[in-house]
Amino acid sequence: MEIYWVLGIPIAGGVFLALWGSRRNAPEINALVSMLTFLAAAMLTQRIIEQGPMMVGNGWFFIDSFNVFLVTLTAFVAFTTSLFSRPYMRIEKEHGRLNDKRLRLYHSSYQVFIAAMLLALTTNNMGILWVSMEAATLATVLLVSLYRTPASLEAAWKYFILCGVGIAQALFGTILLYFAAEKVLGSGGTALLWTQLNGVKAQLEPTVLQLAFVFLLVGYGTKVGLAPLHNWLPDAHAEGPTPVSAVLSGLLLNVALYAVMRCKVLVDGALHTDMAGNLMMGFGLLSVVVAAFLIKRQTDVKRMFAYSSIEHMGLITFTFGMGGAVASFAGLLHMTMHSLTKSAIFFAVGHATQKAGTQVMDGIRGLIKTNPTVGWGLMLGTVAILGVPPFGVFASEFLIITTAMHEHPWATPFLLTALGVAFAAIFGRVQPMVFGETELPRLPHMPALAPVFVHLGLVLMLGLFIPPYLAAWYRQAAQLLGG
Amino acid sequence: MALSYHLQVVNLLAALLLLISFAMLSQRRIVGLITLFAWQGAALAVSTSLVAWATGQHHLYYSAALTVLLKVIVMPWIFYRLVKELDVNRDVEPMINIPTTMLIGIVLVIFAFNLALPISALSGTVTRSTLGIAMATVLLAFLMMITRSKAIPQVIGFLAMENGLFFAATSATYGMPLVVELGVALDVLVGVFVLGIFFFQIRETFDSLDLKHMEKLKEK
Amino acid sequence: MSTGILLQIAQTLIAILLAPLLMGWVNQCRAWLQGRSAPSIAQPYRTLRKLFHKDAVIASNASPLFRFAPYMIFACMALAAGIVPTIANDLPFSPAADVIALVGIFALARAFQALAAMDIGTSFGTLGARREMLVSFLAEPALLMVFFTASLISHSTELSVIVATLAHRDFIIYPSMAFAAVAFWMVSTAENARIPIDNPATHLELTMIHEAMILEYSARHLALIEWAVAMKLFTYSALGIALFVPWGIAPQGDFSALPLALAAMIVKLGAGGAVLAFIETISAKVRLFRAPEFLGTAFLLAVLGMLTHFLLEV
């Protein structure tokens, strides 16, 4: 029942904003719709905690502990981002970079995007999963190019084409999956339902599933930003408006990885080998290393943090590839932490770049003097994402490294080096931005930075103490993932 | 082992599909490319209807109708209008010369045929031998995408790839469930609309649809 | 056995005698399509008769090869025309009708043609010879691939076996033959010097290939060469019919089917000639440097046909 609210509210919001999004209070409506979505998601979570996994709508939707926590996370970050985007987009309009028509497109696409992601998370049908992933991409293409600068158009084009090619591979993987499933489950809609597939996964043809997983990993992995298919990510995340960067980095990457994980569970059951896990470890490790070494060369702050997203998603992919209870737990925890922290960073960066009028890092200095809240927000966020205790990212990274040392010691030097290099690079860049010398005076108005500190506060809290129900939740989800 | 006549015709249409993919690779004019894409959609629709008739899978009739509507009528029309309104230069301008492209194409076809053999062996449909052609179509469309530097040929390559995937689904498994196909069709249609809007934006900013203008965002 | 030999001679004579008629028919169709009035169908015969009555004028530095070449070319074409099954299959000469041998016969004729063109030493002759060699160098592999596709289906390279297999089995559509048909059309366009590779009516230096090679010939030599050109077209058409639409050819030793075979042949050649005229009317000649591309496409299509055979028909 709640699922229909969770999906229906953003869709209705999207339609409403498509028609009336040019009004002056469109940002407030956007925030209101997002809040209602979050409340519906919270109610859904409550129901799942009480009743356990459930299928809704005659098998169309399936909610278990793995995706319900992602649903809540998505709805929450969407809500806080909409709060951040309220004043941010207003100021962008004042600066002349946007007009009412584009804001209408922005607001309605935002809601449609959230709806598509929530559909991808809750659907039971692997085909509909594909459809909603592609829909999520389509909803954001025009958002990336919102500023109509040459760079943003190029970024949006690369995003569309590269993700399109990737998703076509994923479609082929889905076809192969259906092909294997049809033999066991018969043709018709039931053969693509994940719950059914999970039940018969031992009977699915191994060779076909192997091939299918390769295509699915390459396809959905392009959307996760795994190297060497990551080319579109820095551009798309850097050139769009900051709220779009925040939801792309914080949410879409998670949903794509969720799709990969659902497939991995099926493939592991059919293959009884570690092929899926090994592939994921390989791609994940490659992404971490590639991203870490490319961070040093960045001059644009949003691009730098986009590479940081690639690095963290690579780390999570590596973790899930390792498999096992602890690793899966760590992976889920890291997904949460990364979402919250990265979006917080983007909020702070957004305000900083808006004030400074440039995204180039050399052009931003001394935030602590001109705007202490932004300065502190950025500093704390950076420190958090780099894995400094007591923030939550440290806890998950610690678990990941120790598990790696235990089971795959060969990977640990790579991981540690990459994390270290990234630490040095990012910290070295952010430090002058926050504490550097500047002659600019302190700015008059206070930006709305509540979302930043709420996120960071959550991350800090989870780093110090994970509430028991949350821990149980993660453990349940980890078990589902084959822990 | 002589197949029944409609299945022979399906094989013939599959060969025609492959021929059209090669013709798209060697096509020099954008309008010709759009026409070939429409023909590809038509061959696909006829083939799907024949399979529906031969095997009694009635949901394939709906897929065929959807294909005709979208890929033979609506999308080519949208592209013709885009070409006219954007006043695009009518040449395709490939990045590698056409004979070399065709040679690479043949290699890809051999690769695709090899890749499809184990899957074909496992399939239970009567059209399983056409899976190799479907994969070859996908790879050739991919080749077209990466060797074209203009926006519209790249997009047509992308849509041709989707055609190939649809054909693969039909030949290996008698098509995906109808709801999934509807979803895919919807995605593709929305994608084309988004692209149309996007082309206008590109044209406004760069005064041309040549994607060479859009290579500035490299690693510094 | 003697009836077989009689039939063989009859088929060869029919081919030789009807070839100019085919040429005349193609010209007439072309004229109709272009909206002008055509010369009569028998015009090529009149041209040949006129040429035979003339005195030959030969350059003073011509070698014996120059005089000998037209006879050689005519003989090759007559042999080719005789062994390709046009009305009856599996005649006494047909063991010689191996497709690879057939390609060799064409190559022999072409070699003599080119050598004779270069014999006098004028620049037009050499020009034509070099262009002709370029075109056929690329066309021959494509033609061989087409033949291989047909051979793969019938498990033999003998034309009689191919025709027997394709004509007298149950009607099966072979997609590989569809590819091969397109490739064959492209190759025969190149080999017979038709549009879009070469314009048989042009004498412009920039554009002519075949006409450049025969500029120096006159009278009976020219007549023999023109006749050989007509026979080449006839042979290629008969080859195309034998490979792709072989129904109607009388099977071995079945004499009652001969009248039907004759009628079928006339109808098919007539249709083929009309289609050729139509394609010539709607196409433009491609520039010479695009000819390799054209033939490369033919080759690739033929290879595709073979690959499709392995995928779909095995």
- Residue carrying structure tokens 């540690």: A416
Among candidates A148, A171, A182 on the partner chain, residue whose Cβ is nearest the Cβ of B205: A148
**Which positions ≥6 away from C6 have C-beta within 8 Å?**
none
- Give per-residue pLDDT as tens, C126-148: 888 988 888 888 889 999 999 98
Q: pLDDT averaged over chain A?
A: 86
pLDDT of residue A114: 93
Contacts of C173 in chain B (CB under 8 A): 5, 8-9, 11-12
Q: In whole angstroms, what is the distance from residue B72 CA to residue A249 CA?
A: 38
pLDDT at A410 over 90: no
- Give per-residue pLDDT as tens, C38-59: 888 888 889 889 988 998 888 8
pLDDT of residue A22: 75
Token pair in block for residue A395: 């806890």
CB contact under 8 A, A151 and B172: no
CB contact under 8 A, B190 and A164: no
> Chain C: residue nearest B120 by CA?
C311
Helix (H, G, I), strand (E, B) or coil at A61: strand
Q: In whole angstroms, what is the distance from residue C242 CA to residue C87 CA?
A: 10
Contacts of B96 in chain C (CB under 8 A): none
pLDDT at A438 over 70: yes
Element (H, E) at A12: helix A2-20
- Residue carrying structure tokens 């859904």: A44
CB contact under 8 A, A148 and B145: no
Element (H, E) at A55: strand A54-56
pLDDT at C260 over 70: yes
pLDDT of residue B2: 47
Contacts of B217 in chain A (CB under 8 A): 151, 154-155, 158, 235, 239
Using the Cβ of B55 and the Cβ atoms of chain C, whether some distance falls under 8 Å is answered with no
Token pair in block for residue C80: 């080719």
> Chain B: residue nearest A303 by CA?
B219
Helix (H, G, I), strand (E, B) or coil at A123: strand
pLDDT of residue B216: 64
pLDDT of residue A255: 93
Helix (H, G, I), strand (E, B) or coil at A22: coil
DSSP state letters, B85-120: HHT--SB--BSS-HHHHHHHHHHHHHHHHHHHHHHH
Compute the half-sphere exposure of residue B108: CA atoms within 13 Å on the CB side of its CA. 22
∠A402-A407-A412 over CA atoms, to 5°? 55
- Give per-residue pLDDT as tens, A219-245: 999 999 888 888 889 988 988 899 999
pLDDT of residue B220: 41
pLDDT of residue A445: 60
Burial track C264-301 (b if 16+ CB lie within 10 A, e otherwise): bbeebbeebbbebbeebeeeebeebeebebbbbbbbbb
CB contact under 8 A, B133 and C308: yes
**Which positions ≥6 away from A29 have C-beta within 8 Å?**
A13, A16, A17, A20, A21, A23, A107
Q: In whole angstroms, what is the distance from residue A199 CA to residue A177 CA?
A: 14
| Predicted TM-score (pTM) of this structure | 0.81
Among candidates A142, A189, A297 on the partner chain, residue whose Cβ is nearest the Cβ of B177: A189
Q: Ranked by mean pLDDT, which of A159-173, B118-132, C162-176, C275-289 comes out on top? A: A159-173
Average pLDDT for C102-127:
89
| Gyration radius from chain A CA atoms | 21
Contact B123, B173 (CB under 8 A): yes
pLDDT of residue A59: 79
- Check contact C-B (3+ Cβ pairs < 8 Å): yes
Find chains touching chain A: ≥3 CB pairs under 8 Å: B
pLDDT of residue A244: 92
Torsion of CA C227, C233, C239, C245, to 10 degrees: -130
**Which positions ≥6 away from C4 have C-beta within 8 Å?**
C91, C92, C253
- The pLDDT > 70 percentage for chain C reads 95
Residue type, A177: L
Cα–Cα distance list, C112 to A337, A352, B59, C60, C224 (Å): 83, 83, 63, 19, 14
- Show pLDDT as tens, one digit a residue, over chain B (220 residues): 445 777 778 888 888 898 899 889 888 888 889 999 999 999 999 988 888 887 777 888 888 888 898 889 988 998 888 888 777 767 777 777 777 888 888 899 888 888 888 877 777 676 777 888 888 999 999 888 888 877 888 889 989 998 998 888 887 777 777 778 888 888 888 888 888 888 888 777 777 767 766 666 655 4
**Residue A142 CB neighbours (<10 A):** 19
Taking CB atoms and an 8 Å cut-off, how many pairs form between chains A and B? 133
Torsion of CA A207, A213, A219, A225, to 10 degrees: -140
**Which positions ≥6 away from C288 have C-beta within 8 Å?**
C131, C207, C209
Helix (H, G, I), strand (E, B) or coil at A316: helix
Burial of C159 (0-12, 13-18, 19+ CB in 10 A): buried
∠A5-A8-A11 over CA atoms, to 5°? 150
Token pair in block for residue A422: 């990234």
Token pair in block for residue C191: 């080999």
Contact A219, A173 (CB under 8 A): yes
- Residue carrying structure tokens 């006549």: B5
What is the ipTM for the molecules in this complex? 0.84
pLDDT at A407 over 70: yes
Contact C211, C170 (CB under 8 A): no
Residue type, A243: P
Burial of B128 (0-12, 13-18, 19+ CB in 10 A): middle
CA nearest neighbour of C302 among C192, C141, C163, C82: C141
Contacts of C182 in chain B (CB under 8 A): 19
Element (H, E) at A245: helix A242-247
Token pair in block for residue A230: 């990551």
Local structure of residue B126 (DSSP, 8 states): T
Helix (H, G, I), strand (E, B) or coil at A369: helix
CB contact under 8 A, A125 and B180: yes
- Give per-residue pLDDT as tens, A87-132: 888 888 888 888 888 888 899 999 999 999 999 999 988 888 999 9
Distance from CA of A354 to the nearest CA of B (A): 21
∠C174-C178-C184 over CA atoms, to 5°? 130
Q: pLDDT averaged over chain C?
A: 84
- Residue carrying structure tokens 């298919």: A229
Helix (H, G, I), strand (E, B) or coil at B148: strand
Q: In whole angstroms, what is the distance from residue A320 CA to residue A331 CA?
A: 6
Local structure of residue C284 (DSSP, 8 states): -
Average pLDDT for C238-245:
85
| Torsion A383-A388-A390-A396 (CA) sign | positive
Residue type, A462: L
Q: In whole angstroms, what is the distance from residue A370 CA to residue A351 CA?
A: 12
Helix (H, G, I), strand (E, B) or coil at C140: helix
Q: Which of the pair, C314 or A30, is modelled with greater confidence?
A: A30
Token pair in block for residue A81: 């981002």
Among candidates B118, B173, B213 on the partner chain, residue whose Cβ is nearest the Cβ of A182: B173
Among candidates C170, C178, C311 on the partner chain, residue whose Cβ is nearest the Cβ of B12: C178
Q: Which of the pair, A184 or A82, is modelled with greater confidence?
A: A82
Contact B103, C300 (CB under 8 A): yes
Provide φ and ψ at A176, rounded to 5°.
-65, -40
CA nearest neighbour of B165 among B13, B60, B44, B33: B44
Provide φ and ψ at A61, rounded to 5°.
-120, 145
Token pair in block for residue A430: 């952010």
Average pLDDT for A344-359:
85
Find chains touching chain B: ≥3 CB pairs under 8 Å: A, C
CA nearest neighbour of A303 among A415, A165, A151, A450: A151
Taking CB atoms and an 8 Å cut-off, how many pairs form between chains B and C? 63
Burial of B30 (0-12, 13-18, 19+ CB in 10 A): buried
> Chain B: residue nearest A141 by CA?
B194
CB contact under 8 A, C173 and B9: yes
In this structure, the strands spanning A61-63 and A54-56 are antiparallel
Token pair in block for residue B108: 């890809």
Q: Ranked by mean pLDDT, which of A103-117, B127-141, C197-211, C288-302 comes out on top? A: A103-117
CB contact under 8 A, B12 and C175: yes
- The pLDDT > 70 percentage for chain A reads 97
Q: In whole angstroms, what is the distance from residue C298 CA to residue C295 CA?
A: 5
Among candidates C175, C176, C307 on the partner chain, residue whose Cβ is nearest the Cβ of B110: C307
Burial of B121 (0-12, 13-18, 19+ CB in 10 A): exposed
Q: How confident is the model at residue C166 (pLDDT cuts 50, 70, 90)?
A: confident
CA nearest neighbour of B13 among B148, B127, B176, B114: B127
Q: How far apart are the first and last CA of chain A?
A: 30
- The pLDDT > 90 percentage for chain A reads 19
- Residue carrying structure tokens 């008969």: C238
**Which positions ≥6 away from A448 have C-beta within 8 Å?**
A83, A84, A86, A87
CB contact under 8 A, B214 and A154: yes
pLDDT at A284 over 50: yes
